[in-house]
Amino acid sequence: MTDYKPSLLKKPRLSEKSTLLTKNNQYVFDVAPDANKVEIKKAIENYYHVKVVKVNIINNPSKPVQWRNKTYQRGRNKKAIVTIKEGQKIELGI
């Protein structure tokens, strides 16, 4: 039995900046808004079988968007920058 929720990790974030961070053993993931650092660490270690050294979280708030004279709230998102042990690697399809 695993110790993490499968919906905790949404997807890896593949961008130019996140690709450059892989040289420093750092990977960026979109995570659930209610996730904390300990849960993210356990989920990454169990799913990818690597040793996580550090987890940094960036919490982006929702923003108002105007479209066709109506104002909506764009959903908030949370991303985690995960640093793994030197010499290990996560295959994300980059």
Arithmetic mean of pLDDT over the chain: 89
Where along the chain do its domains lie?
Answer: 9-84
| 27: phi then psi, degrees, rounded to nearest 5 | -130, 145
Q: What is the pLDDT of residue 1?
A: 40
Q: What is the pLDDT of residue 17?
A: 93
Q: How far apart are CA 28 and CA 81, in angstroms?
A: 5
Which CATH architecture describes the domain 9-84?
Answer: 2-Layer Sandwich (3.30)
How do residues 45-83 score in pLDDT, each as one tens digit? 999 999 999 999 999 998 999 999 999 998 889 999 999
Decide: 25 and 35 in contact? Cβ < 8 Å.
no
Q: How far apart are CA 44 and CA 28, in angstroms?
A: 11
Decide: 33 and 80 in contact? Cβ < 8 Å.
no
| Paired strand residues for 59 | 78
Q: Is the model's pLDDT at 88 over the cut of 70?
A: yes
